[in-house]
Structure 1
Amino acid sequence: MRTMSGDQVEAAVASCTAALRTAVDRDWEAVDAAGLDWSCRTTALQIAQAVTKYAGQLAARAPHRLPLNLTLPEGTDNAGLLQVIEATGALLAAAVRTAPPGVRAFHPYPFGSADREGFAAMCVTEALLHTHDITRGLGLPYEPPADLAASALAWLFPHVQPGPAPWPTLLWATGRGELPGRAPVTDWNWYNNLVIPTERLVLTGIRPAAADDLRLGGTGGFDWLDGGPYEGTREACSHLMKAYEAGVHRPEFGVFALVRPEDGRAVGGIGFHGAPDDERRVEIGYDLVPGARGNGYATEALRTLTQWALDRDDVDTVIATVERDNLPSQHVVGRAGFVRATVEEERTAQDTYDMDAGLLLYLRR
């Protein structure tokens, strides 16, 4: 699995400061960073300011934006600014390492919060991209370690189709470069994963980095009850990775781990089979590890995620298919508000959407 931790924070900051230290005697204020309205010095300060805010938000577990800002004493030279970047990177690395799994803090885009991996990934992305902007402005060569760019893409850009090499792909995805066969990017943002709380669970969006590990038999970074997810979750992650590799993955319509806040254990998976179709329908599926069954977790998760989808403007109907002899799952969908489709609706699903004749179709609108 592509890791994202304090180690990656430190590596990104080291890559940044090593590149900029070669031009520490230049006038950074007199030169604009490439593609930005900021000077090279202001852009370097932006790295330190952003990382300071990330460290503060995560360390405080802040549910809102903290009134944090970093300013430099008058007379601070470029060498001093680089030391500040190193110091703020160390602070964030420590905050990431000491934050328990699943802890989140406020970040506005796109779903209102980020976890420790998200804050680490945002730091890596800020450091790499703004170092690129500064070095281009100063006329210096710069290419960070490929594994840092690859990790940033896998953790923070789940909507971006992987390219032939991670660094050019990250530059293209952020409007800083071109990729053969792809249109230029003029508007971009990153994606922290979506989390949706229920009464007893947190539905935690699974990123491509974690999904890739899960499909290959790993844990995806989760502490699973009974030693691992049920096979359906691994299969769902395989479908997620196919969509990601094809460039059609929509993170909010991906796969979620069912995590119990009381002990941090993952007890199952739930998710969509893809984005809504032209008829504004989306299919949902779920499973639980055997030791978690019989507690109502599946019903709770299914009811919550279905309602989340129906509250959107692009979904009118959520569908679920269940094997004819799977009575427990039929009871779950019924308790979650789904109703059995009519014979005509099932026949249409079989003829038009290749639904297996051995499955029952349930709908919730």
Structure 2
Amino acid sequence: MRAMSGEHVTEAVAGCLAVLRGAVDRDWRGVRAGRVEWDCHTTAVHVADDLVAYAANLAGRARDAYVPFELRLDEGTGNTGLLQVLETTGALLAAAVTTAPPDVRAFHPYPFRSADRVGFAAMGVAEVLLHTHDMAEGLGLPYEPSAGLAESVLATIFPHVQPGPEPWPTLLWATGRGELPGRAPVTGWRWHNNLVLATERLTLSGVRPAAARDLALGGDGGFEWAGGEPEEGTREAARMLVKAYEAGAHRPEFTVFALVRAEDGRAVGALGFHGAPDEEGRTEIGYNLVEGARGQGYATEALHALSRWALARDDVRTLYARAQRTNTASQAVLTRAGFRPAGALDDRLLAYELRA
């Protein structure tokens, strides 16, 4: 599975246009778009407005709000012209995603008030797929996007949704547009961009299920790794994340974070949680660095930042970590980050804790 990109946006928009051209001679203002409250004309304008807004925010590096403008059609614009607007705004978002550096983030409210190029691509594709479904339903047209597109959207901005038997029905269910056997109807939903934390020298970039799956299968997860590839410990953490995601147990804020060095944009390791906190507010944390990045304080810097973020939450009271008896460097990292010895687990492992 490739990371969401400008090519995905182009593919989604092309599918939308192919469907809607089959009803270009219909009165879109007089037809409700499926289950939404808008007519098909208003829905198409909404999609175009979102596409250009996402492009503007990403290209303009918007920080605290959307770039203050709104799409407005010329008076008298018909359906053919509206399709041209959809095609053009899709091309603008695809270009913005393609040209944005991987470290750039711009404003989007859900849930951490920013998104990167992968997030904006996924949100744009989601808008196109879902609202094309709405319009096609209202106009009585058949429509089903590729399973790959739907799967990528789910694994990028719906990390909290357990995958279903088929990606497209799962995406429709997750957005209140359909039923899924064995699952309760969805009445309220939002997608979920990844969490990013910044330190003096690093960016802790939350790994999405899509990227974790790539790492687990031997890929780079969309990151450029110092030394050429991640440590095996990072791949194992990615496998754990994918397993939790597939079981519906993944909490996206308690994820694995790639440690991206600010000076060159290369990932030097990974740090993250082994799962969400239990009923007592206890969760385990682990980390590793590529060999060439060790001994420079990166692990301590990252662990301190993530611990501070976690312990500021109401649902976390204790962070737990393990270190091998022979790994004095790891023990020193934990100590410098404020963790205290909590006994021996066996003849190989020592326990450490940091409490709120």
The two structures share one fold, judged by TM-score above 0.5: yes
Q: What is the number of equivalent residue pairs in this alignment?
A: 354
Match for 1:224: what amino acid?
W
Following TM superposition, by how much is the alpha carbon of 1:3 offset from its aligned partner in structure 2, in angstroms?
3.1
String of CA shifts for 1:169-190, please: whole Å, max 9, x gaps: 1101111011111111111111
Q: Does structure 2 retain, via aligned residues, the 8 Å contact 1:56–1:68? A: no
Q: Which residue of 2 aligns with 1:352?
A: none
Q: 1:33 to 1:356 in 2, by over 3 A?
A: farther
Equivalent runs, 1:94-109 vs 2, <5 Å: 94-109=95-110
Q: Does structure 2 retain, via aligned residues, the 8 Å contact 1:195–1:203? A: yes
Q: Which residue of 2 aligns with 1:10?
A: 10
Q: Distance in 1 between matches of 2:215 and 2:145?
A: 28
Match for 2:52: what amino acid?
T
Match for 1:100: what amino acid?
P
Match for 2:353: what amino acid?
L
Q: Distance in 2 between matches of 1:265 and 1:114?
A: 19
When normalised by structure 1's length, the TM-score is 0.95
Q: Which residue of 1 aligns with 2:253?
A: 252
Following TM superposition, by how much is the alpha carbon of 1:293 offset from its aligned partner in structure 2, in angstroms?
0.5
Following TM superposition, by how much is the alpha carbon of 1:2 offset from its aligned partner in structure 2, in angstroms?
3.0
SS in 1 for 2:15: helix
Q: Which residue of 2 aligns with 1:232?
A: 233
Q: Which residue of 2 aligns with 1:23?
A: 23
Unaligned stretches of 5+ residues in structure 2: none
Q: Does structure 2 retain, via aligned residues, the 8 Å contact 1:2–1:154? A: no
Q: Does structure 1 retain, via aligned residues, the 8 Å contact 2:225–2:268? A: yes
String of CA shifts for 1:76-106, please: whole Å, max 9, x gaps: 0011111000000001111111111121111
Match of residue 362, structure 1, among 328, 352, 355: 352
SS in 2 for 1:225: coil
Q: Distance in 2 between matches of 1:112 and 1:261?
A: 21
Match for 2:354: what amino acid?
R
Q: Does structure 2 retain, via aligned residues, the 8 Å contact 1:159–1:251? A: yes
Match for 1:358: what amino acid?
R
1:264 and 2:265 correspond = yes
SS in 2 for 1:258: strand
Equivalent runs, 1:207-226 vs 2, <5 Å: 207-226=208-227
Please say which of residues 7-16 and 60-69 is displaced more in the overlay: 60-69
Q: Which residue of 1 aligns with 2:45?
A: 45
The ranges of structure 1 where at least 4 consecutive aligned residues each deviate by more than 3 angstroms after the TM superposition are: none
Please say which of residues 112-121 and 27-36 is displaced more in the overlay: 27-36
When normalised by structure 2's length, the TM-score is 0.97
Q: Distance in 2 between matches of 1:288 and 1:157?
A: 28
String of CA shifts for 1:191-220, please: whole Å, max 9, x gaps: 111100011100000111110111111111
Q: Distance in 2 between matches of 1:14 and 1:197?
A: 37
Q: Distance in 2 between matches of 1:239 and 1:329?
A: 21
Unaligned stretches of 5+ residues in structure 1: 347-354
Amino-acid identity (%): 67
Q: Does structure 1 retain, via aligned residues, the 8 Å contact 2:119–2:156? A: yes
1:189 and 2:190 correspond = yes
Q: Does structure 1 retain, via aligned residues, the 8 Å contact 2:3–2:222? A: no
Match for 1:360: what amino acid?
L
Q: Distance in 2 between matches of 1:19 and 1:79?
A: 13
Q: Distance in 2 between matches of 1:118 and 1:278?
A: 31
Q: Distance in 2 between matches of 1:147 and 1:315?
A: 36
Please say which of residues 123-132 and 137-146 is displaced more in the overlay: 137-146
Q: Distance in 1 between matches of 2:122 and 2:52?
A: 14
Q: Does structure 1 retain, via aligned residues, the 8 Å contact 2:3–2:211? A: no
SS in 2 for 1:235: helix
Q: 1:22 to 1:43 in 2, by over 3 A?
A: same
Equivalent runs, 1:168-187 vs 2, <5 Å: 168-187=169-188
**Root-mean-square deviation (Å):** 1.1
